[in-house]
Amino acid sequence: SILTALEYLPRRTETDPERIKERAREKEIIKKRLERRCAEAPQVQRAIEKAVETINGHVGDPRSFDRLDELLNAQSYRLAFWRVAAEEINYRRFFDVNDLAAIRVELPEVFDAAHKLLFELVASGAVTGLRIDHPDGLYRPLEYFEKLQMRCAKALRVPLPKDGRAIYLIVEKILTGEEQLPQNWRVHGTTGYGFANQVAGVLVDHNAEGAITKIFKRFIGHSLHFGHLVYAKKRLVMRISLANEVNVLGTMVDRLSEQNRWFRDYTLEALARAVRETIACFPVYRTYLEPGKPVSEEDRAVIERAVAAAKRRNPAIEESVFNFLRDLLLFRFPENLDEEQRAAHAEFVLKFQQFTGPITAKGLEDTVFYIYNRLAALNEVGGEPQLFGLSVEAFHERNLRRQRDWPASLLATSTHDSKRSEDVRARMLA
């Protein structure tokens, strides 16, 4: 009867949620039945042990491991050396950490399962505020924040406020240069990384820039251009750590080019290079385009700036390849596309947006910030060490802007991401 139960077990390739639950439930029942059978009939236990010994093979006899190889090949996963993941992994990860598989929180069933405990804590009053880590990894951040606030309102048994904010919600969003937090996000502000870097900047002695730069150049033996270094290290990350993620984007855009006779002559290699070069030239962590909604002027400017920079750095690549990619990223679809093809184009844009953030973080925070050490106190997450300080006037202007737009945003001086605490940075800047 155990063999019969195994025959009727739903296949591992099932995608229907109910069949998946049935498989998970029934396999545990079968395992318990087999355990009881082994306890009742020692000969069954001995037979299993003998089979395991045979499958495990014998050192010195390579052919004896064939059965083990067959067993491993029959699994839902592939055993591989961990470095293989950089080029061949087939699931999204937290940066390049293989053990931290990403979940598709945009799916209703995944959202519900991942937030079940959270909403219970909100309903009980145990939690009164939320901090969202790495929001740039979300498939559709705007949609996620709206749904999160609606569900929190439901948990609190209150109507959703007119501003769409039922619970205090802040995000760990790294803003670059003059970049602003999207006004349509249903959040109360950021976790304060920007403020921490602005405080450090206002403590810098601007008059010392020339002397500090000269010392740094003499120490390392050559000059370093910050922008060129960021570009080079983002390319390095895409080649070494996150190669497969970029390969996926290249394959996606290649398939899209095949849908139109004007673009089908673009090769996979040319398109993949255009994707890599555009990401390497991205001036911010990511854009936030939403299918079916107008492209903001901020996002349009970011994409056009990145593509223009990629063109300048790669004159050997046909300019029209970059133009094709630019139009894709701005939702400028050919008129002859049907709904299915438009959905595929939108999927590419959403995936592209998910990947630019991790590549920027790995290239900038985890690489450049350990190389460009002109004044190490400025090398914190969200910092811009190529800018030697911040004027008092600019500091106050940013504070006024924050008070106007995000009055409930956090003001941090140190966080869990700080390489050096505020007292150490203050001493370095003194």
Structure confidence by residue, pLDDT tens digits, 34-81: 999 999 999 999 999 999 999 999 999 999 999 999 999 999 888 889
Question: What is the DSSP secondary-structure string of 123-183?
Answer: HHTS--EEEES-GGGSSSHHHHHHHHHHHHHHHHT-PPPTTS-SSEEEE-----TT----T
In terms of domains, do 210 and 319 share one? no
In terms of domains, do 343 and 265 share one? yes
User: How many Cβ atoms sit within 10 Å of the Cβ of residue 352?
Assistant: 23
Establish if 60 belongs to a structural domain.
no
Of residues 312, 233, 310, the one with CA closest to residue 273: 310
pTM of the model: 0.89
Cβ neighbours of residue 17 closer than 8 Å, sequence gap 6 or more? 109
Q: What pLDDT, on a 0 to 100 scale, did the predictor assign at position 307?
A: 98
- Summarised one tens digit per residue, pLDDT across range 127-181 is 999 999 999 999 999 999 999 999 999 999 999 999 999 999 999 999 998 899 9
Establish if 323 belongs to a structural domain.
yes
In terms of domains, do 283 and 350 share one? yes
In terms of domains, do 105 and 180 share one? yes
Establish if 59 belongs to a structural domain.
no
Q: What pLDDT, on a 0 to 100 scale, did the predictor assign at position 234?
A: 98
Establish if 82 belongs to a structural domain.
no
In terms of domains, do 358 and 241 share one? yes
Establish if 77 belongs to a structural domain.
no
Burial of 83 (0-12, 13-18, 19+ CB in 10 A): exposed
Establish if 86 belongs to a structural domain.
no
In terms of domains, do 241 and 348 share one? yes
Establish if 65 belongs to a structural domain.
no
Please state, in angstroms and as integers, the Cα–Cα distance from residue 415 to each residue in 112, 178, 223, 410, following that order: 29, 22, 31, 11
Pairing, β 97-101 against β 93-94: antiparallel
DSSP state of 83: G
In terms of domains, do 46 and 159 share one? no
Q: What pLDDT, on a 0 to 100 scale, did the predictor assign at position 430?
A: 85
Q: What tokens does 269 get?
A: 């290699």
Residues 259 and 394: their CA atoms lie apart, in Å, by: 49
Q: What pLDDT, on a 0 to 100 scale, did the predictor assign at position 260?
A: 85
Burial of 427 (0-12, 13-18, 19+ CB in 10 A): exposed
Residues 246 and 325: their CA atoms lie apart, in Å, by: 14
In terms of domains, do 359 and 388 share one? no
In terms of domains, do 234 and 198 share one? no
* The CA-based dihedral angle spanning residues 211, 216, 219, 220, taken in that order and rounded to the nearest 10 degrees: -150
Residues 306 and 275: their CA atoms lie apart, in Å, by: 11
Q: What pLDDT, on a 0 to 100 scale, did the predictor assign at position 26?
A: 95
Percentage above 70 pLDDT, the chain: 100
Cβ neighbours of residue 417 closer than 8 Å, sequence gap 6 or more? 193, 380, 381
Please answer whether residues 163 and 201 qualify as being in contact, where contact means their C-beta atoms are separated by less than 8 angstroms.
no
In terms of domains, do 258 and 312 share one? yes
**Total tally of structural domains belonging to the chain:** 4
In terms of domains, do 358 and 379 share one? no
In terms of domains, do 236 and 359 share one? yes
pLDDT under 50 in the chain at which residues? none
Establish if 62 belongs to a structural domain.
no
Q: What is the domain extent for residue 42?
A: 1-51
